Amino acid sequence: MSSLALRESAPAADTTPGAAQGFPRRRRTALVPTVTLLLGAVYCLLPVAWVVIASTKSGSELFSTFTFLPGSGFTENLSDLNAYRDGVYWQWMGNSALYAVAGALLSAAVSACAGYALAVYRFRGREAMFNVLLAGVLMPPVILAVPQYLLLAQAGLTDSYLSVLLPQILSPYGVYLARVYAAAAVPADVVEAGRMDGASEWRIFTRIALPMMVPGLVTVFLFQFVAIWNNFLLPYIMLSDDEKFPITLGLYTLLEQGANTPALYTLVVTGAFLAVFPLVALFLVVQRFWSLDLLSGAVKS
């Protein structure tokens, strides 16, 4: 992580060697933007650096040694975390992955269908539906958690994997994004041409429109993935069995153990550190699709 940070911020510090190859002459560094960006980077990366360093400290070092002095307890912390209640941490990690991957995939699929339909078809109530959706974008999902719980309780689905997955599949923001993207990326002429050639609507959607929408859907997937990975309140209310907890909830139970037992800070810090990796890996992998997105936009306009 720290090496990542270095690699990203180092080029910005001087006149970037990469850019020097692209441009014929060395340009002077713009001081104000560089300093501003550096400050921003420090602001964002300092807490990450803290987690990285704190995870290497043993329990007695955590609060007593200098904040940014690496400690000696990383392997011990790892094995403690691994041993805590027979490795329940990895169960939480697996649960988080399940919720986030399945939820984000399904959410992207639903957003694709709904967004495409809203963008391409003209039907009565389309605008009204879209406006309701926009209102949904403005509504923080947090306030829906309790009503959703009561609803799922009626269906007898609480304290199950489905209870966390289902409410997160429909994302108003995802549908909104998919519609805007479909309207821009799928030309009406192409859809019309498909119809002329006798393709069914479903075939036009899956074979022609969907590939064009991929960069937008990647964005939806990514947003939903991060949102679900970081979600706290919904699983907190829905789940009572800690074997089904995602990582956020699991770490919270380590912190709030009641007054009799002190919080397991070292485990929580190490656990939080490890929990960042899947997100970083995801962003590194998906970055390619994102730059594709930017490129295609640049070529078109």
Residue choice 76, 201, 242, 293 for contact with other proteins (CB under 8 A)? 242
For the chain, the farthest-separated pair of C-alpha atoms sits apart, in whole angstroms, at: 74
Residue 197 is a binding residue for other proteins (CB under 8 A): no
Residue 148 is a binding residue for other proteins (CB under 8 A): no
Residue 76 is a binding residue for other proteins (CB under 8 A): no
Q: Is the dihedral of CA 155, 160, 164, 169 positive or negative?
A: negative
Choose the binding region for other proteins from 56-64, 68-76, 195-203, 207-215 (rule: CB under 8 A).
Answer: 56-64
| DSSP three-state, residue 59 | coil
Cα–Cα dist 16/33, whole Å: 14
Per-residue tokens: 77: 């912390």
Which of residues 35 and 153 has its CB atom nearest to other proteins in the complex? 153
Q: What is residue 27's DSSP assignment?
A: P
Instruction: Give the gyration radius of the chain's Cα atoms.
Output: 24
Taking the complex as a whole, the smallest distance from the CB of residue 287 to other proteins amounts, in Å, to 35
- Pattern of binders to other proteins over 85-124, x per CB under 8 A? ----------------------------------------
CB within 8 Å of 6: residues ≥ 6 apart: none
Choose the binding region for other proteins from 5-13, 153-161, 167-175, 201-209 (rule: CB under 8 A).
Answer: 153-161
Residue choice 7, 26, 28, 64 for contact with other proteins (CB under 8 A)? 64
Choose the binding region for other proteins from 30-38, 97-105, 212-220, 259-267 (rule: CB under 8 A).
Answer: 259-267
Rounded to the nearest 10°, the torsion over CA 107, 109, 115, 120 is -170
* Position 288, amino acid: R
> φ, ψ for residue 14 (rounded to 5)?
-110, -170
Number of residues that bind other proteins (CB under 8 A): 30
Residue 155 is a binding residue for other proteins (CB under 8 A): no
Which of residues 35 and 263 has its CB atom nearest to other proteins in the complex? 263
CA distances from 108 to 28, 118, 129 (A): 44, 15, 19
Choose the binding region for other proteins from 9-17, 132-140, 150-158, 279-287 (rule: CB under 8 A).
Answer: 150-158
> φ, ψ for residue 89 (rounded to 5)?
-60, -45
Cα–Cα dist 101/106, whole Å: 8
Q: What is residue 208's DSSP assignment?
A: I
Residue choice 31, 124, 241, 300 for contact with other proteins (CB under 8 A)? 241
Which of residues 14 and 243 has its CB atom nearest to other proteins in the complex? 243
- The per-type count for the chain, helices as H runs and strands as E runs, is 15, 0
Go through 168-177 and write b for each residue having 16 or more CB atoms within 10 A of its CB, e for each that does not: bbebbbbbbb
Residue 149 is a binding residue for other proteins (CB under 8 A): yes
Which of residues 146 and 294 has its CB atom nearest to other proteins in the complex? 146
Which of residues 130 and 265 has its CB atom nearest to other proteins in the complex? 265
Per-residue tokens: 160: 């199950």
Choose the binding region for other proteins from 120-128, 165-173, 210-218, 256-264 (rule: CB under 8 A).
Answer: 256-264
Cα–Cα dist 281/279, whole Å: 5
Which of residues 240 and 296 has its CB atom nearest to other proteins in the complex? 240
Choose the binding region for other proteins from 171-179, 249-257, 273-281, 283-291 (rule: CB under 8 A).
Answer: 249-257
Name the residues that contact other proteins, by CB under 8 A. Answer: 59-60, 63-64, 67, 146, 149-150, 153-154, 158-159, 236-237, 240-242, 249, 252-253, 255-263, 265
